Structure 1
Amino acid sequence: MAYLLIFGIIVALTLATASLYRYGNVQRQHPLVTLSVLTAWSFSFLIVFTIPLDVTSTVYRQCIHPTVNDNDDNTLQSISKTVSNSSNTCQKPWGMVSEDVFPSLWRIIYWTSQFLTWLIMPLMQSYLKAGDFTIKGKLKAAVIDNAIYYGSYLFICGILFIYLALKPDVQLDWQKLKAIASSASNTWGLFLLVLLLGFALVEVPRSLWEHSWPGVTLKQAYFKLAKLNIDKADAEENVDDVLESLNAVSQATPLTHELRPCIDTILRKVPTELMERVRRHRSDGGQSNAVPSEKSLIRLHKQVIKSIQTFQRTDALWNVQVEKVLHLEDVEKNLNSLDRRFKTEFPQQRTKLHEMICNPTLDWYWQCKLRPPFMRSMAIVLGVLSSMVVWSELTFFNRKPVLSIFANVVNVAKENHDFLTIELFSMITLCYLCYCAYSTVFRIKFLNLYYLAPHHATNEHSLIFSGMLLCRLTPPMCLNFLGLIHMDSHVIKTQVSETFYTQIMGHMDVLGIISDGFNIYFPMVILFFCISTWYSLGSRALNALGFQQFMLNEIDQNESISNEFIQEGKGLIDREKRRRQRSEESRMRRRGQQLPARELSNYRASPAQNNGRNGGSGGVGGFETSQRTSNDGLLGDGDSFDYNATNQMGRTFSTEINERFGDSTQIKVGFKGYNDLDSDNDDSRHWSNIKDGAPRNLFDDV
């Protein structure tokens, strides 16, 4: 029974669904985008979870029906012994899958994912970026946008076909054409895979080691926050300029114009708060009142989509980085806490289950005591695993003696018929390679056009890009892994039973330069990229070109540019703290204004008594409390004043001035039309003529 295969399918689908729900916004994004990305992610994860089952099935078939090269005497002797004892030793692994399942499964997964990544998703991505207002126009723009992209591939394929046609010993058929297509896709994926792994195999363990030291991590977070602030300011300026042009076009176009629906379509894609901000700060100078043409609206529509996408991406990056900096500051403040309870400056809402599982005491022990040594231990383990990958990439083509560490581990498990070890070892290695490859794309600066932001903050373009990337990198990565464990007969030049995955994918034997040269020796270039990453040659080169990067050897220098960015990051986070504190205080004031009338009467007993004595309505100063809103502004936030109390004043205005400044001044305050003798009485009459209640305008009581 294929219990493990069914379990792998469920896990892959669950993981893809949970990831899509975490990063995407299913309610707002297009259903086709959701379906395409879910399919791409599910199939990519399923390949990783199913390859170990295919490997164990192949090992079992090799044990039952071994076939080797006749020139390898040692292997013949070992296989003859295996055949003689096959009935006793070759036991079927648990969860064995039938042989007719894997070929159909791999055909569906591979060709569906290739169809998505090379045809559907690029068109879908260009369709979303198109500025046309009709489906036909968007499809036409998407095809034109991908014409150069597809034209380059057709040009390369044309050269390959001409080369094959001139070779008399090669007969082109459908199987050969599929091999050419898969070889082109896998060669492109292998080229990108080597670049990504060369960076990640060093950077992933090193980043874990650096993150185990809170001080260094906090400085790096300050540095990144300062750089994000520059990107955020540029994105805000760009989106403001584009939206100002859109606002001017909207005002210049009458409601009855034939292009007005197109403008309304653009306006619906703009967030309300952005459009309101542009209208508040709008400047009328230099704006044209001419009605735009349809082409200019299409161009403006495309600019709006691109600018809003960039703004949302930088805003999501900014919010994630701010939360990270605030958390790191909380960790640094709690390191020397005596009560051993983790305290945060800005507490977040937590569910009751989360509070029960992770209380402040457990959180303090994890963040301050257990997490740093755990991170360092994981860095050492992953560093050893990265060294094994690099060594195996350099030596996997050598079959006698076997130098690849992964091949030796699998061979030992073969001899002991330990299928569980083979499955677990293959799963751990593939998952680590996947993490290194996929995480690198979103960490390199020039590939930071797309970003997977949690809390439903990822746009559709980033989701489509991630789906394309997974579909292109997963197949060549699995082929490379099969070569590392010597399960590909065309790599080790030995006739053995192969995996069904390799049989469906092919060996790229049509072109000798690809099968004998590039796919074997190009992975050795990974050592060069690892050395470059270890010595930070890329960061040093970018620093020399003016693109400032975080360098650990410069943070202790007082006049370094890195230190300036760190200090700027501290100032930015202080400003963010003050903004959040003001927002929290304003929220608390609004909550206080919405208290029930009974609580207000108990809280303000004196004004209530005055209101009852003067016939008020039970509110403050004769006004009902329920009429007060959060928009009352300056008067609403000030201390309450009972204007009706002025009717019971026992002294005049002149008396009050004399009390403040002394009777020796002999000041008499009079009003026009009144004599000095009757000034006090006239003052009393003047005050009595004032209407009861608060002033109508802001300065009526001055």
Structure 2
Amino acid sequence: MIEIASTSSPVGSVVFACIAVFALSIAVLLILRHYLPLRTTPAFLLVPIFFALWLPASIVLLVPIDLASSDSDQDVGNRGIWLPQRAILVSWRITYWLTFALTWFILPILSEYADAGYRDPKGRLMFSLRANAQYQALLFGSAFVGGIYIFISSGVSFESLKGTVMAMAYCWGLILAIYLMGHGLVAIPRSLFRNASLSGRLRRIQQKAAKVHEKMEEAITNMEDLEAQVTELSKRKTGSARLFEEWIEELVEESHLPESRPRTLARRMSVPNVTTPSVITERYMADLSRQLNRAQHSRARYVDEWDRILYEAVETQAILDSAASKRIDIGQSSPHAGFWDQITIHTPYTRYLYHYYFMPYFRISSGAFLALASICIVWSEVIKTVNPFISVISLTVVHHPNSDRGQVGFAGQVIASLWILYMFAAALTSLSEVKVWRGRALVRRNTHGESAGWYAMQVAKLSVPLSFNFLTFLAPDVYMDTVFYKFLGKLINLTPLGSWFDWLFPMFILFPVCATLFNLYGKTKRLVGMDGVIDDDEDENQSGYGTGSWREGRDLIERELHGHSSLPRLSNGNGAASRSATGTSAPSSRLAPTLSVPPAERRQAATTSSPRPSLDRQQRQAVAPEEENFLEAFGHRVKNTLDTVQTPRWLQNMGEGIKRPKWMGGDGEGEPSRSDSSLTRLFGGRQDGRVRL
């Protein structure tokens, strides 16, 4: 690479950049193929999602090239990969404004469009615009307030208007990026340290199994209730239902009724609350279609997660059991297995050494290395306001061999790309752990279109703030000469408030870092009596049943593997059978394996299945939805919120007062005796309802 960049012409760098862009495109396509069914996903959603992922990936390549191309006095042979200033400026303009449009306008509208239950495009578009009306109003309101401040400080001009838009978008993206990145910088190394212990890993898998199984039951129950409504609609052949006969038939076909689960549906149909409104409206049909689509993807999500938990539990248990035999045998390959499944590199003994010794120590060393990288990022965030010249990131990226200003060669470019990638990974990893995203999740080959658009929007939203935040780790005389700073940084620092925000706010990364490091989320949850924002209570609840303990999860996994589960195996949203935990479809890719893999089809236990308690459906009375104005909708939401608020545990225990000791009438555990009061115990207690003197 140094020989390519040693010429005076940037032709070699252009060729390298084109090859790198092509490689990024292939990687993005593979990511899309992993989470989305490419053949069935509509193009109006697939193309924006591709660019929402491809543009941030190109920023990882564009920032190091910009750093090496900014110094015109630098020796060409030491630049690494560089491009002309004009080419970099055009690249930044295209990348930034496309990312801006995808983040704030295109993807929000298309995501709600894909989630709308209407059949015609006009109904879908109107639903999407109504759903984004409040979001866009809040966006323009904030931009209007910020514009007034910038116009007063810098005057009314086109440059001030552009600075308002770019500064407001940067500030909101930086707030979200700092919080998510701070959590991920601790969560990633800690997960590697925890998974290094095989017994501890199995314990956490079992604890997670209880929670996932409960959510899977709820998703299946919700799906069955919605399917029962569709069945009731299909029986109506008169009245307003005739206007939506084709629509109802499509819902029946999508639900695969009644062939999918006739026994479960028969039990559900006996519930009298599952009824339909007397008058069927278009809005009711759209709402039912939307709920049915969400329920199908929610069910597929938890079924896939449950299969993955089963596979991880069986694999971890097999590794622990191999300590005696010193062998892990996976059996012979099936003729129906794929190419990669038929390749076997390890022998049973080397496979044992690899899983039992190499992987734990590799996780420990990787966790220590990433923990050190996290400390360097946090140190650079804090120290850059005091002295950016002692920033660890600046020292690793910028080298000073023969220049007073500093040089960024090819090695510095590679290191800069790795730093940006780790910052991106820390922020994006937190998206799957923070539970405030309306149940959105990424599912292998079955991600909901609205969820895929939303996650792509977050990736695009975080890319520019994190990239510019990385530039501020370097010395001012290095990053102020870059095209990225001249394009975005000057508009952010157009006012003193923007300059102070850009310099001081990243120091608040210490809050999410400390909150995650010391488990403040779990402590706040126990204090307030509400569910925590981040699922970080893995080491709690070591015993007890019914509360998501590892013992309950162990029993659920054992019952599932022995075919005694009360849940029938469900098909995915497309009607095909669910894949096994290995990611391959049934039949299994190995014949007669010693390391058994959970089957793709759960066995139906018709005779041994215990009926699950149905959810209370009194709130879901079959009443045709009516149009509500803003005040009525707001009042209903406030009422529902207040009705569902639970009293905190510490407030519930406040009424118990001071517990009396045993000698004053309490029982062995410090609680007052239920049979004898303290006064009667002074006279010898009660006998047959009388006081014994």
TM range, normalised to the smaller chain? 0.7 to 0.9
Contact 1:180 1:510 in 2 (8 A): no
- Of 255, 261, 269, the residue aligned with 2:246 is 261
Q: Which structure dedicates a bigger proportion of its chain to helix?
A: 1
The separation in 1 between residues aligned to 2:41 and 2:343, in whole angstroms, is 35
Partner of 1:172: 157
The separation in 1 between residues aligned to 2:474 and 2:234, in whole angstroms, is 63
Partner of 1:460: 449
Partner of 2:666: none
Contact 1:236 1:311 in 2 (8 A): yes
- Of 52, 57, 69, the residue aligned with 1:45 is 57
Partner of 2:517: 534
Partner of 1:485: 474
Q: How far off its partner does 1:245 sit? A: 1.5
Q: How far off its partner does 1:261 sit? A: 1.9
Contact 1:44 1:471 in 2 (8 A): yes
Partner of 1:374: 362
For structure 1, which segment, 269-278 or 142-151, has the greater mean C-alpha deviation from structure 2 after superposition? Answer: 269-278
Partner of 1:427: 417
Cα 1:113–1:276, aligned 2, differ >3 Å: closer, same or farther? farther
Partner of 2:377: 389
The separation in 1 between residues aligned to 2:425 and 2:52, in whole angstroms, is 16
- Residues 272-421 of structure 1 mapped to structure 2, 5 A cutoff: 276=262, 279-283=265-269, 285=272, 287=275, 290=278, 292-338=280-326, 340-343=327-330, 350-361=337-348, 362-399=350-387, 402-413=389-400, 415=402, 417=407, 419-421=409-411
Q: How far off its partner does 1:334 sit? A: 2.0
- Of 413, 422, 427, the residue aligned with 1:437 is 427
Partner of 1:34: 46
Q: How far off its partner does 1:277 sit? A: 5.9
Partner of 1:647: none
Please give the root-mean-square deviation of Cα atoms over the aligned residues, in Å: 3.2
CA offsets per residue over residues 318-366 of structure 1, 9 Å max, x none?
A: 222222222222222223333x334489999754555445334343222
Contact 1:450 1:462 in 2 (8 A): yes
Contact 1:182 1:506 in 2 (8 A): no
CA offsets per residue over residues 552-604 of structure 1, 9 Å max, x none?
A: 6546x555987x61011111111221229999xxxxxxx9xxxxxxxxxxxxx
CA offsets per residue over residues 371-429 of structure 1, 9 Å max, x none?
A: 00010000110111100000000011234x72311123334356475612211110110
The one-letter code matched in structure 1 to 2:103 is: T
The separation in 2 between residues aligned to 1:254 and 1:15, in whole angstroms, is 53
CA offsets per residue over residues 164-194 of structure 1, 9 Å max, x none?
A: 4444x52321x33222211111111100011
The separation in 2 between residues aligned to 1:408 and 1:110, in whole angstroms, is 28
Contact 1:210 1:216 in 2 (8 A): yes
Cα 1:510–1:269, aligned 2, differ >3 Å: closer, same or farther? farther
Matched, 1:204 2:188: yes
Partner of 2:211: 227
| Structure 2, unpaired ranges of 5+ | 1-10, 570-586, 588-605, 608-693
CA offsets per residue over residues 219-247 of structure 1, 9 Å max, x none?
A: 11111110111111111121222221121
The separation in 2 between residues aligned to 1:575 and 1:344, in whole angstroms, is 24
Partner of 2:485: 502
For structure 1, which segment, 507-516 or 184-193, has the greater mean C-alpha deviation from structure 2 after superposition? Answer: 507-516
Corresponding residue SS for 2:242: coil
The separation in 1 between residues aligned to 2:282 and 2:156, in whole angstroms, is 53
The separation in 2 between residues aligned to 1:374 and 1:198, in whole angstroms, is 24
Contact 1:52 1:423 in 2 (8 A): yes
Partner of 2:165: 181
The separation in 2 between residues aligned to 1:136 and 1:199, in whole angstroms, is 41
Matched, 1:578 2:542: no
CA offsets per residue over residues 455-512 of structure 1, 9 Å max, x none?
A: x1322222111210111000000000000123xxxxx4x5975222222324334653
Matched, 1:156 2:148: no
Partner of 2:116: 130
The one-letter code matched in structure 1 to 2:305 is: L
- Point out the structure with max Rg over C-alpha: 1
Q: How far off its partner does 1:317 sit? A: 2.3
Contact 1:179 1:508 in 2 (8 A): yes
The separation in 2 between residues aligned to 1:253 and 1:127, in whole angstroms, is 30
The separation in 1 between residues aligned to 2:515 and 2:364, in whole angstroms, is 23
The separation in 1 between residues aligned to 2:543 and 2:509, in whole angstroms, is 36
Contact 2:225 2:268 in 1 (8 A): no
Cα 1:166–1:128, aligned 2, differ >3 Å: closer, same or farther? same
The one-letter code matched in structure 2 to 1:100 is: R
Contact 1:209 1:379 in 2 (8 A): yes
The separation in 2 between residues aligned to 1:263 and 1:558, in whole angstroms, is 48
Contact 1:8 1:50 in 2 (8 A): no
- Under a length normalisation based on structure 2, what TM-score does the superposition of the two structures give? 0.73
Q: Which runs of 4+ in 1 moved over 6 A?
A: 344-349, 580-583
CA offsets per residue over residues 645-697 of structure 1, 9 Å max, x none?
A: xxxxxxxxxxxxxxxxxxxxxxxxxxxxxxxxxxxxxxxxxxxxxxxxxxxxx
The separation in 2 between residues aligned to 1:408 and 1:136, in whole angstroms, is 56
Cα 1:435–1:347, aligned 2, differ >3 Å: closer, same or farther? farther
Cα 1:297–1:384, aligned 2, differ >3 Å: closer, same or farther? same
The separation in 2 between residues aligned to 1:236 and 1:511, in whole angstroms, is 54
The one-letter code matched in structure 2 to 1:230 is: E
Partner of 1:16: 28
CA offsets per residue over residues 122-146 of structure 1, 9 Å max, x none?
A: 1111112222222111101100100
Cα 1:496–1:353, aligned 2, differ >3 Å: closer, same or farther? closer
- Residues 518-533 of structure 1 mapped to structure 2, 5 A cutoff: 518-533=501-516
Contact 1:253 1:291 in 2 (8 A): no
- Of all paired residues, the percent bearing the same amino acid is 20
Contact 1:48 1:430 in 2 (8 A): yes
Number of residue-to-residue matches in the alignment: 548
The separation in 2 between residues aligned to 1:392 and 1:207, in whole angstroms, is 23
Contact 1:223 1:550 in 2 (8 A): no
Cα 1:446–1:94, aligned 2, differ >3 Å: closer, same or farther? closer
| Structure 1, unpaired ranges of 5+ | 65-88, 487-491, 584-590, 592-632, 635-702
Corresponding residue SS for 2:513: helix
The separation in 2 between residues aligned to 1:418 and 1:261, in whole angstroms, is 64
The separation in 2 between residues aligned to 1:331 and 1:450, in whole angstroms, is 33
The separation in 2 between residues aligned to 1:428 and 1:213, in whole angstroms, is 28
Corresponding residue SS for 2:118: coil
CA offsets per residue over residues 275-299 of structure 1, 9 Å max, x none?
A: 7566544525454584523332223
Cα 1:95–1:392, aligned 2, differ >3 Å: closer, same or farther? closer
The separation in 1 between residues aligned to 2:536 and 2:101, in whole angstroms, is 40
The one-letter code matched in structure 2 to 1:577 is: L
Contact 2:192 2:364 in 1 (8 A): yes
The separation in 1 between residues aligned to 2:147 and 2:113, in whole angstroms, is 31
Contact 1:243 1:278 in 2 (8 A): no
The separation in 1 between residues aligned to 2:260 and 2:483, in whole angstroms, is 54
Contact 2:442 2:451 in 1 (8 A): yes
Corresponding residue SS for 1:579: coil
